[in-house]
A = this chain, B = another copy of it.
Amino acid sequence: MESEDRRYGVSFHVPGDFVDLHCFALKRLDHNIDCIGPVRVAQVPHTAIAQVMQEKPHLARLLWFSTLLDAAMHREWIMKLEQLTAPKRIGHIFAEIWRRLEMVGLGYPDGFNTPLTQSDIADMCGATPIHTNRALAELRKQGLADFKRGEVRIADREKLENYSGFTPDYLYGEGELSLREVG
């Protein structure tokens, strides 16, 4: 809680996400976007969004919905940071990553893989890398999650989610407004 120039994470994206649609309406960006793993990017010019907004109200609402999803996730992160200890924060973010990867078909039955390092996780959990390392050891010891160089194995999903106070509601995964419908 000292160093001025430490990086901090406010959210993350999985393949398929519309990245930083926010800057379309905000006009200016209040954060940076870093790539951790390899990425494939499609760009959407702002003029195209503006046109879609005008011509297809249903799609406009869908775009709006997608940014509100980001806000809902931000709120959950705020809860996480205000209420949970480091091991629980990490368990919580693991639960979120796993669910979100599954939603785009990239999860496994026993966990997931990620390009994130322990330092990256630390940045997203408001802890030092060292403390994060010890928290990970704790999760491992308790049989909740096993992180090893980007491979995360989770024996019992319910156990981990209960431990971390995670409920997937805020991901709005059931939505009839799901983005995936539009292809």
- A residues engaging B (CB < 8 A)? 1, 6, 8-11, 22, 25-28, 30-31, 53-54, 57, 60-61, 64-65, 67-72, 74-79, 81-85, 123, 125-126, 169-170, 172, 175, 177
Enumerate chain B residues within 8 angstroms of A25, measured Cβ to Cβ: 61, 64-65, 68, 177
Please, which residue of chain B has its CB at the minimum distance from the CB of A1?
B85
Q: Is A78's CB under 8 angstroms from B74's CB?
A: yes
Q: Is A169's CB under 8 angstroms from B30's CB?
A: yes
The count of identical subunits is 2
Enumerate chain B residues within 8 angstroms of A172, measured Cβ to Cβ: 26, 28
11 A-B pairs in the complex with CB atoms less than 8 angstroms apart? A22-B71, A25-B61, A26-B65, A26-B172, A28-B172, A30-B72, A71-B71, A71-B74, A78-B81, A82-B125, A82-B126
Contact of A82 among B8, B65, B67, B175 (CB under 8 A): B8
Task: For the complex, give the distance between the alpha carbons of A78 and B11 in Å.
Answer: 9
Please, which residue of chain B has its CB at the minimum distance from the CB of A81?
B81
